[in-house]
Amino acid sequence: MGKSDEYQFDYLDNNIRFADQVNGALFHGKQVVKPDELEPAEARMVYLGKESGLRENFKAIVDKARMWRGSLIHVLAVENQTYVDYRMILRNMLSESIGYHKQWKQKKVIHDRKKDLATGTDAFLSGMAKEEKFVPIITLVVYCGTEHPWDGAKCLHDLLEMNEEMKAYVTNYKLNLYDCHEHDTFDEYHTGLRQLFEVVRYGRDKEQMKRLLMENREAYSSLDSDTRELLEVVAKVRIPQASRIIVGGEAGMGNEEKKYDVCKAWADWRQEGVEEGKIEGKIEGKREQLIYLVCKKLLKNKPVDVIADELEEEITIIERIIAAQKKVGNYDVEQICEVCGVLTDS
């Protein structure tokens, strides 16, 4: 999993958020799945083979799973995607097939131990009794891509090249996909997932974000630390430590709760953007602009990987600029630019 998937994986480890995700995406906000009904479920791994190009031969297909309602068990599996995976249909089919096969193997092991299936019968050859059933597996794909809506296949038929006559004979498989770009409101969510989907959906529309912040000021003025991290990594929104507020105790006493005011951060971003625009307008060339922005972030003590991520530049380029800055010994853009002669404008 990439960095974004890891953050979402941890975020949904909380049963309240997990239930909120499932209820919002599958049941339109109806509180069908209760947090206290959820139990841990074993993560499933799928062997993709050496041809997959992965460093590991095993990859997690299901990011987070829970068992629901005891004997009436459903496995609710949430797949978090921050990019469009055009083979997602195949991944889900494979994951669910292996999940059902594993259930069958468990039943067969029990029957083999008990020797309760008569030799030579259909049940014996099948490894299970006729009346036995499997636990349903529900896979939900949550798409949080910030560049564009999901444009991949949503069912198996979308991936197949065939005429209309063949469709009746080819079994279809439907993807349970939640793409926030297909929604205008997110009232069905009651945790920080609402803020995540709102920011992913409208983050590039300043007027819409301003409206959302005004209409939901209470929620955006007191985001918890986990939601803040999720917004920064998945939605690529910067929420500085300066927007932190202390709730329920005194700072430094160990009993306080950290909250973050996105409304304040948003106002700071807009003002900072205006000021940076005035300064950057006087700086010519992409290289000089990049060096200027790197210097600003260095002054805020940001590490190289964070700077590269925020500026969407190769980490090797950022490292060269930092090396040049250290050699110069100050933050003079022209001097650093001279030392950084290996960088070329593009």
The residue among 62 and 229 whose pLDDT is bigger is 229
As given in the structure block, the two tokens for residue 227 are: 């939601």
The residue among 27 and 61 whose pLDDT is bigger is 27
CA-CA distance, 237 to 28, in Å (whole number)?
A: 27
What's the burial of 318, exposed, middle or buried (CB within 10 Å: 0-12/13-18/19+)?
Answer: buried
Give the pLDDT of residue 58: 38
247 has which bridge partners? Answer: 257
Render 60-106 in DSSP notation, one character per residue. Answer: ES-SEEEEESTTS-EEEEEEEESS--TTHHHHHHHHHHHHHHHHHHH
Domain boundaries, the chain: 3-182, 193-268, 283-339
Specify whether the CB–CB gap between 213 and 199 falls below 8 A: no
Question: Which of 199, 250, 269 lies closest to 228, judged by CA?
Answer: 199
Could you read off the pLDDT of 92-128 as tens digits, one per residue?
Answer: 899 889 889 999 999 999 999 999 999 999 999 999 9
Q: Which of the four pLDDT bands, split at 50, 70 and 90, describes residue 339?
A: confident
Q: What percent of the chain has pLDDT over 90?
A: 34
Q: pTM higher than 0.75, yes or no?
A: no
Could you read off the pLDDT of 223-274 as tens digits, one per residue?
Answer: 888 888 888 888 777 776 655 665 554 444 454 567 877 776 666 555 444 4
Give the pLDDT of residue 237: 75
A 10 A CB-CB count for 314 gives 10
Q: Which of the four pLDDT bands, split at 50, 70 and 90, describes residue 47?
A: very low
Give the pLDDT of residue 82: 80
Could you read off the pLDDT of 1-35 as tens digits, one per residue?
Answer: 445 555 566 788 899 999 999 999 999 999 999 99
Q: How far is CA 115 from the centre of its chain?
A: 46
